[in-house]
A and B are shown apart, each in its own frame.
Chain A
Amino acid sequence: MSPVRFLLIEDDPDHAALICNAITQAGRGCQIERVASGEAALEILRRAGPRRHDVLLLDVNLPGMDGLHVLEALKRDPALTSLPVVMLTTSATPPDLEAAYRHHANSYVVKPASFVEMKQVMALIAAYWADVNAPPE
């Protein structure tokens, strides 16, 4: 079972701490790298390429360049388009959801209010992407 390497793009330090905490408790030896803005994330990803991370957790409501724009930029970049992106948001409105999928988000998760659910969701995400990225037997 290979560890899943997350890149978390989240400006709110509390949410970031919560998500990191939840991912850590999901086990699997997950690794988390966190950046606070979309611009910073794009810079890191363009430098490091698609292999350094297994899955991106991208907050929608970011200051400056918002999550949907970051998503659009990622999916348009041939070098990064294969990176799986999970959108994280507090909004469950249909237009936001539709916009995310229109820009080829791989998944869309509404930040759960309860920490128990948060842990479950992060564990599911980790398990799913760990399997997807596992080398063929």
Chain B
Amino acid sequence: MLGIMRLIRITAALAALLAFATGVWAQTNGSPHRETLRVVYTELPPYSFEDANGQPVGFAIDVLTAVAARANFDLSYVRARNVTDALAMIADGTADLHPSLVSNAERRKIVSYTSAIRLVTLSLYGLEHRAETFDPDDLSGVRVGYRTSSATDHAAKAILGANLVGLPDHEAILQALEAGAIDLGVFVDAAFDRKVRMKDIRAQFARVGAPLQATPVGIAVSNARPGVLRRLDGALRDMKAEAAYGAITERWFGAPPSWWTAQRMFFAYLAVVAVMVLIALGAFNRLSERTRQMLSREARLRVAMSQRHAETLEQKNTLLATQNEEMQRLLQAVSHDLKSPMVTVRGFAGVLEDALTAGDEGLARDACRRIVASTGRLSGITDALQEFSRVDQKPVALREVDLNALVNEAREMLSIDIAASGAQVVVPEPLPKLRADESQVLRVFLNLIANALHHGCPRPGMTIEITADVGPDLTEISVRDHGPGIPEAFRRDVFRLFRRLAPGQSDGSGIGLSIVARIAAKHGGTAWASAPEGGGATLHVTLLNRPEDPHAEDGRPDPTTAPRMSKERAA
């Protein structure tokens, strides 16, 4: 009896299971193993947008439909207000993929991308009647609007020197352009015309210059679905190799350009990567100035094509900003440091006049002495400024230099000052050889030793020690004195222009250590000060170790300045 009851129960369960399976089978229209992917799309014409019937259409939608069919997926669509919402839906699992998204680091936390379905180009647009007035090669000072948190963000930041204005959406950029609040705006080319038409803006716009950036765009699949990504990407690659993909491209963008095949794209990417590597290796530096000028425009476009190079540009931007700032500081400091001896000269000329009237010979002599000393200081400052600008302008001429020989030369050139201070310059251990600019490294030793003599040797019999330490990337040169040391608060300042820490200005132009810092920077290193154990101060300079490169143009000695060095004195 019990056995029969169990049999009936099992049969009933089986029947229910069968009924459920049949229901599912019926719902999925005959393919019980096909999965439905939930696609979230945004208004990104012509890649994805809603047609008049509210149906998703567009190039990316067509590609996705074809790819999904190949990979055995069904698709269901939901429209998101914007990309942020779409990504949020993918992140919380209510959607699986987006048909066409520009990749960035933030998005890659949520989605992974198939290979590219299309390159998106970004360009600058301005009011038509003003477009001609902009030089696309030099946009310094031009106000450029871009959409924050979009691909235009990145493209805009790669524009050198422009004043960037971040705006919330396309409409705001168009309105700002129309109102004259900004000069140019960054837009995705394919979207621009449609945007202008959609927003019902009457002003006429024109593109300025060549596209700024080209970004590959792929299907963005939730990181939670690696299997789906693999299957879609496989199908996409198969499809690209066949005519089906070309047909979709043709339908949306006209005849496909001849290079738009998988193979050609591969070579195009290879070329871009090759250019990147060449530039990264510094080959760019070795191109002659003329070639560089000719290539600069094209190179800039290519450079902008990768994030890595956008970073390079950003670094250059930062460098320019730093140099600008330094120039401002220089001008201010120069005006003060030239004015100050001027006040002395004119002031004591007045004192001299009074003294002569009063017949005070002692005062008159004192005034004359001070005037002579002040004019000497003035010429010292102009000499040091000339040296500073020479270091700044001259390219680094790399060759193998023996640091021992340079220290000896510096010692000889400073022999009078060394003797006057009663100090000793010692090299405890032999110094290495390295590839660097000989005259500039000599200048480093001259200025560091002169600085140590002025500030680190208050009484006779003190020593200045010079050491060098060869690391894997950098060689560190250290000059230590046993003087009063540098208070911690000012250690950062000592390498800045016209920063003097000791009262009075009877010695030093305030430029010597800035020259050292600049030379270090030109050799890929830095300069800093520290407080060694046992008192005194140590000034450190690092220089990048550069392997021998027989093709380097910079390797030749520069005949215009090298021989003159031996006659010069420390700044």
Chain A residues near B366: list those with CB within 8 A. Answer: 17
Binary interface encoding of chain A residues 96-107 relative to chain B, with 1 for a CB under 8 A from any of its CBs, else 0:
000000000000
Bound Cα distance A3, B396 (Å) = 62
Chain B residues near A91: list those with CB within 8 A. Answer: 332, 335-336, 339
Given contacts A18-B347, A115-B349, A116-B350, contact A11 B503 (CB under 8 A): yes
Bound Cα distance A15, B350 (Å) = 13
Q: What are some 21 contacts across the A-B interface (CB < 8 A)?
A: A11-B505, A14-B341, A14-B348, A14-B374, A15-B344, A18-B344, A21-B351, A25-B354, A36-B503, A61-B336, A63-B499, A63-B503, A64-B487, A90-B339, A91-B336, A113-B346, A114-B346, A114-B347, A115-B347, A115-B349, A119-B350
Instruction: Tell me which of B340, B349, B506 contacts A15 (CB under 8 A).
Output: B340
Cβ-defined contact, B506 with A13, below 8 A: yes
Who on chain A is nearest to B344 by CB?
A14
Who on chain B is nearest to A17 by CB?
B370
Chain B residues near A116: list those with CB within 8 A. Answer: 350
Task: Tell me whether A111 is interfacial, beta carbon within 8 Å.
Answer: yes
Cβ-defined contact, A13 with B504, below 8 A: yes
Bound Cα distance A17, B350 (Å) = 13
Who on chain B is nearest to A18 by CB?
B347
Cβ-defined contact, B370 with A90, below 8 A: no
Q: How far is the CB of B339 from chain A (nearest CB, A)?
A: 4
Who on chain B is nearest to A111 by CB?
B343
Task: Tell me whether B500 is interfacial, beta carbon within 8 Å.
Answer: yes
> Which of A15, A25, A37, A64 gathers most chain B CB within 10 Å?
A64
Give the 6 A-B CB pairs with smallest separation, nearest first: A115-B350, A36-B503, A90-B339, A14-B344, A18-B347, A11-B503
Bound Cα distance A28, B374 (Å) = 31
Task: Tell me whether B272 is interfacial, beta carbon within 8 Å.
Answer: no
Task: Tell me whether A30 is interfacial, beta carbon within 8 Å.
Answer: no
**Chain B interface (Cβ within 8 Å of chain A)?**
332, 335-336, 339-344, 346-351, 353-354, 366, 370, 373-374, 487, 490, 499-506
> Which of B344, B490, B500 gathers most chain A CB within 10 Å?
B344
Chain B residues near A15: list those with CB within 8 A. Answer: 340, 343-344, 347
Instruction: Tell me which of A17, A63, A118 contacts B502 (CB under 8 A).
Output: A63
Task: Tell me whether A131 is interfacial, beta carbon within 8 Å.
Answer: no
Bound Cα distance A118, B347 (Å) = 8
Chain A residues near B505: list those with CB within 8 A. Answer: 11-12
Bound Cα distance A93, B347 (Å) = 21
| Majority secondary structure, A binding face | loop
Who on chain A is nearest to B355 by CB?
A21
Cβ-defined contact, B501 with A63, below 8 A: yes
Chain B residues near A17: list those with CB within 8 A. Answer: 366, 370
Bound Cα distance A118, B354 (Å) = 13
Bound Cα distance A21, B370 (Å) = 14
Cβ-defined contact, A12 with B504, below 8 A: yes
Chain A residues near B342: list those with CB within 8 A. Answer: 113
Residues 70-119 (chain A) with a chain B CB within 8 angstroms: 90-91, 93, 111-116, 118-119
Chain B residues near A25: list those with CB within 8 A. Answer: 354
Bound Cα distance A81, B202 (Å) = 63
Instruction: Tell me which of A18, A36, A90 contacts B351 (CB under 8 A).
Output: A18
Bound Cα distance A121, B354 (Å) = 17
Cβ-defined contact, B500 with A63, below 8 A: yes
> Which of B374, B487, B505 gathers most chain A CB within 10 Å?
B505
Q: How far is the CB of B483 from chain A (nearest CB, A)?
A: 15
Instruction: Tell me which of B335, B348, B504 contacts A18 (CB under 8 A).
Output: B348
Bound Cα distance A91, B337 (Å) = 10
Who on chain B is nearest to A22 by CB?
B347
Cβ-defined contact, B370 with A14, below 8 A: yes
Q: How far is the CB of B317 from chain A (nearest CB, A)?
A: 25
Who on chain B is nearest to A11 by CB?
B503
Q: How far is the CB of B74 from chain A (nearest CB, A)?
A: 68
Cβ-defined contact, A115 with B340, below 8 A: no
Bound Cα distance A25, B347 (Å) = 14
Given contacts A18-B347, A91-B336, contact A115 B354 (CB under 8 A): yes
Chain B residues near A113: list those with CB within 8 A. Answer: 342-343, 346-347
Chain A residues near B350: list those with CB within 8 A. Answer: 114-116, 118-119
Chain B residues near A18: list those with CB within 8 A. Answer: 343-344, 347-348, 351
Cβ-defined contact, A64 with B490, below 8 A: yes
> Which of B335, B343, B502, B504 gathers most chain A CB within 10 Å?
B343
Given contacts A14-B344, A115-B346, contact A90 B336 (CB under 8 A): yes
Chain A residues near B503: list those with CB within 8 A. Answer: 11, 36-37, 62-64
Cβ-defined contact, B344 with A115, below 8 A: no
Who on chain A is nearest to B502 by CB?
A63
Residues 14-34 (chain A) with a chain B CB within 8 angstroms: 14-15, 17-18, 21, 25
Chain A residues near B370: list those with CB within 8 A. Answer: 14, 17
Bound Cα distance A61, B349 (Å) = 23
Q: How far is the CB of A114 from chain B (nearest CB, A)?
A: 6
Bound Cα distance A100, B490 (Å) = 22
Chain A residues near B490: list those with CB within 8 A. Answer: 64
Binary interface encoding of chain A residues 32-50 relative to chain B, with 1 for a CB under 8 A from any of its CBs, else 0:
0000110000000000000
Cβ-defined contact, A12 with B344, below 8 A: yes
Q: How far is the CB of A120 from chain B (nearest CB, A)?
A: 11
Bound Cα distance A91, B340 (Å) = 10
Bound Cα distance A112, B344 (Å) = 10
Cβ-defined contact, A90 with B346, below 8 A: no
Cβ-defined contact, A115 with B504, below 8 A: no
Bound Cα distance A61, B337 (Å) = 10
Q: How far is the CB of B206 from chain A (nearest CB, A)?
A: 41
Who on chain A is nearest to B347 by CB?
A18
Given contacts A64-B487, A91-B339, A115-B353, 5 further A-B pairs with CB under 8 A are A12-B340, A12-B505, A18-B343, A36-B504, A63-B501
